[in-house]
Amino acid sequence: MGAAFKETKLPADAPKSHKALAWVDDRFPLTKLWNDQWGRYYAPKNFNIWYLFGSLAMLILVLQIVTGIFLTMYYKPDANLAFYSVEQNIMREVHWGWLVRYMHSTGASAFFIVVYLHMTRGLLYGSYRKPRELIWLFGFAIFLCLMAEAFFGYLLPWGQMSYWGAQVIVNLFSAIPFIGPDLSLWIRGDYVVSDATLNRFFAFHVIAIPLVLLGLVAAHLIALHEVGSSNPDGIEVKENLGPDGHGVDAIPSHPYYTTKDLFGVSMFLLIFSTVVFFAPEMGGYFLEYNNFLPADSLKTPPHIAPTWYFTPFYSVLRATTSDFMWVVMLGLAAYVVLIWMRSRLSYKTKVAITIVAILAEIGMLPQVLDAKFWGVVLFGSAVVILALLPWLDQSPVKSIRYRPSWHKYVYAVFFVAFLTLGYLGTQLPTPAYTLVAQACTLLYFSFFLLMPWWSAMGQFKPVPKRVTFTPH
């Protein structure tokens, strides 16, 4: 038999709001959820501005969902009507439609800016290290969903860059041996980007991907609150919490971080509103000028490039030429030698890696697989390698604060290479730019693939027992 229902008894003179909350709590754990997830969730007291971007990402997610709902009320997922439903109806005839559209388009770029900064914080402070590997993997899956969501949504305005950008990206799948052409056909739903493609992308953008994204965000937060938040010192403050949840290195999220987050949100909204009202195109980076022209399957734009948040990985794709493949082959051979000489992996694992490397070397020969295929492989690998960070980083400390000083220069070179790839992806692929992109591609992959060795080298500083900063 189930336990008897017991209703909370409050004094007769208790406020009606308290009575209403008690009535809800007897039937649904509302107060418990609030306390567990925020109200009485004890977070490290040495958070800095880098820890603001997670909250901002949640804010932008809500903003994108709300503005997206209003846009779907007037948008027409039809190849003959889509462009005019956006540029004529939403932008000129619907009251405040232009504002909602610009909030949504600016929010897409703001989302990636905030997420990239959020990932940078994780990289600097080792937030992906044990016991937070699963949090990082959920975050990586969220990043993949955001990329898919942005790609599917990019086609919906049905402008010139939308149409041809989707055509180029979908055609990349045709480089996959055996299944590539059929896979591209299945994604498009037609032999070219057409009305069928638009309807498919609309369904993915509005329904499928958001559902997966919300589930991953929930899993990300649940995993975070299960093991506790990281901090700039890399100290596990949860281990020092008493039975009542209090600790010398932790403070309640509410009201301390609630007030700080509200201030950060206010600053963000100020910057966000400035962009929306005064520079929504951001010089063509947020909204390309060619996208204000209706899609024309008979007129190819002179320069087709994805939006800025994809350009670092797009540069890796364009940098993969036939000549560059010989450099990749040499680098792969050297990496296998390094694994045999300096790695602590088991003998069987080393043999397996060697066999895979030999097969890859054979496949990289021009007579076997062309550079286009390997460009797609490196394009995907540049994204997927982020998921391996918890196991690539062998540093005895988590935070960059206690690593050797020269490690900061390694991170700086990586960030410069990544930003350079992002810039080059927006430019025409001249021979000089291609050479620079190839050098940055090597630096990008070297940062991760050599991390098991360089991350453990040098003189590390002792990590304190307590966090090094208190807000009082």
Split at pLDDT 50, 70, 90, the class of 40 is confident
Residue 252 has pLDDT above 80, yes or no: yes
Split at pLDDT 50, 70, 90, the class of 59 is very high
**Is-cis flag, bond preceding 131, omega within 30?**
yes
Residue 276 has pLDDT above 80, yes or no: yes
pLDDT tens track for 97-137: 999 999 999 999 999 999 999 999 999 999 999 999 999 99
pLDDT tens track for 173-200: 888 888 888 989 988 888 888 999 999 9
Split at pLDDT 50, 70, 90, the class of 81 is very high
**277: Cβ–Cβ under 8 A, 6 or more apart, which residues?**
none
Domains of the chain (ranges plus CATH)?
A: 35-292 (1.20.810.10), 308-454 (1.20.810.10)
Write the CA distances from 103 to 71, 107, 269, 341, integer angstroms.
Answer: 11, 6, 11, 54
Confidence (pLDDT) at 302:
80
Split at pLDDT 50, 70, 90, the class of 43 is confident
The span from the CA of 332 to the CA of 327, in Å, is: 9
Confidence (pLDDT) at 471:
44
pLDDT tens track for 198-238: 999 999 999 999 999 999 999 999 999 889 889 999 888 87
Confidence (pLDDT) at 198:
94
Is 0.85 surpassed by the pTM of this model?
yes
Contact 458, 404 (CB under 8 A): yes
Contact 317, 375 (CB under 8 A): yes
Contact 161, 288 (CB under 8 A): yes
The span from the CA of 350 to the CA of 347, in Å, is: 5
Average pLDDT of the residues in 449-459: 95
**Is-cis flag, bond preceding 431, omega within 30?**
no
pLDDT tens track for 381-414: 999 999 999 999 999 999 999 999 999 999 999 9
Confidence (pLDDT) at 240:
66
Confidence (pLDDT) at 246:
61
Residue 171 has pLDDT above 80, yes or no: yes
Confidence (pLDDT) at 120:
96
